[in-house]
């Protein structure tokens, strides 16, 4: 028997799909692609910004470090819930193709892969609850 979150995840992953949504989500959720832009914006704000902007950026870094690094990570290790593509087979996984720097492929079609069942003895990395993406946004 599936739980409500599994039913919703399956509906979003299998039924509510569109190529433009795959592209959008692959770009929006790829931190590596945004890192150069965020770094330039952060440095420009720290160098050219006034006191309020610098204070806001410093508060942002402290808050992000606390929520993602301490709070969310602690809960993830306590709960230990696997990501859907690790726990189930047939889950669509969308990624930008590999490139260096990553932002060069933001306009190219993403790579779609279907998850397979975990192999016996395989150590699975990463946990899904709570979502770091959600807490960071």
Question: For the segment 70-114, what is each residue's pLDDT rounded down to a tens digit?
Answer: 888 888 878 777 777 777 777 888 877 776 776 667 777 778 888
Give the best-scoring range by mean pLDDT among 55-64, 68-77, 114-123, 125-134.
55-64
* CA dist list (Å): 93 to 63, 83, 90, 110, 129: 29, 11, 9, 10, 17
What value does the mean pLDDT of the chain take? 80
Q: Model pTM?
A: 0.64
Helix axes 51-64, 31-48, angle to 10 degrees: 150
**Mean per-residue pLDDT, 23-49:** 85
């Amino acid at each position: 028997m599936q739980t409500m979150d599994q039913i919703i995840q399956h509906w979003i992953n299998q039924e509510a799909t569109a190529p433009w949504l795959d592209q959008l989500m692959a770009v929006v959720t790829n931190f590596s692609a945004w890192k150069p832009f965020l770094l330039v914006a952060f440095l420009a704000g720290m160098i050219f910004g006034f006191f309020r902007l610098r204070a806001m950026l410093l508060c942002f870094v402290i808050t992000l470090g606390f929520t993602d690094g301490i709070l969310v990570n602690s809960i993830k290790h306590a709960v230990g819930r696997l990501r859907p593509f690790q726990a189930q087979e047939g889950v669509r996984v969308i990624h930008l193709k590999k490139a260096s720097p990553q932002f060069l492929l933001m306009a190219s079609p993403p790579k779609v892969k279907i998850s397979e069942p975990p192999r016996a003895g395989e150590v699975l990395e990463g946990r899904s609850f709570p979502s770091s993406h959600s807490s960071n946004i």
